[in-house]
Chains A and B, each alone.
Chain A
Amino acid sequence: MEQSTKDKIQNIIDENDVLLFMKGTPVMPQCGFSAAVVGVLSHMGIKYNSVNVLEDPEIREGIKEFSDWPTIPQLYVKKEFVGGCDIIREMHESGELTQYFNEAGIST
């Protein structure tokens, strides 16, 4: 990955407390897994920003290497990679996600 891509990704992560890399947009997700995470975040009333990787091939490939994670969506909270679709769903079902957001100082 080029340094410029890495910097670009790091800057977006630094600027957003809750950031979802996804396919499509929260209103029009283009993939079931992205839609599932959008559903969890909306259900919890979390304020977040998203990056549509389908509009940026550089980020789409770069984020996989950046996070050492081969799939999208990817959720970052306060610069930490929290997980992809399975982990977010599992944490949501067990109640851990609410705790995670609370501990990170994100209101739910």
Chain B
Amino acid sequence: MAMTASEIEELIIKAFPNAKVIIDDLRGDGDHYAAQIIAEEFRGKTRVQQHQMVYNAMGGRMGKELHALALNTSAPSE
């Protein structure tokens, strides 16, 4: 059911190849993660759009195999 941090990271990097990604397993239970993602692709997008892009990268796993993925997204600063 659950996903590993490296599986999540792999899906994110596949969608945003040059992103900086930090993943925390919040409870150590393989089910509650936090991801900090800095990617050029986010520039000019609203937070809702940025999170939707990450959810799309998860390919429908979000809310199913992946119960909780807290997101913090931004574009790199100049």
Q: Is the CB of B51 within 8 A of A86?
A: yes
A29 to chain B, nearest CB (A): 15
Provide the A57-88 mask, 1 if CB < 8 A to any CB of B, else 0. 00000001000111100000000011111110
Bound form: Cα–Cα A70–B51 in Å: 10
A88 to chain B, nearest CB (A): 10
| A33 at interface by CB-CB < 8 Å | yes
Residue numbers in A under 8 Å from B60 (CB-CB)? 70
Q: Is the CB of A70 within 8 A of B55?
A: yes
B60 to chain A, nearest CB (A): 8
Q: Given A83-B47, A84-B51, are A64 and B63 neighbors across the interface (CB < 8 Å)?
A: yes
Q: Is the CB of B51 within 8 A of A83?
A: yes
| A90 at interface by CB-CB < 8 Å | yes
Interface residues on B, range: 10 to 19
- Name B's interface SS: mixed
Q: Which stretch in B3-11, B14-22, B68-76 binds the other chain?
A: B68-76
Residue numbers in A under 8 Å from B70 (CB-CB)? 85-86
Residue of chain B at shortest CB distance from A83: B48
Provide the A92-108 mask, 1 if CB < 8 A to any CB of B, else 0. 00000000000000000
Bound form: Cα–Cα A106–B68 in Å: 30
Chain A residues engaging chain B, CB cutoff 8 angstroms: 33, 64, 68-71, 81-87, 90-91
Chain B residues engaging chain A, CB cutoff 8 angstroms: 47-48, 51-52, 55, 58, 60, 62-63, 68, 70-72
12 A-B residue contacts at CB 8 Å?
Answer: A69-B55, A70-B58, A70-B60, A70-B62, A70-B63, A71-B62, A71-B63, A85-B70, A86-B51, A86-B71, A87-B47, A90-B72
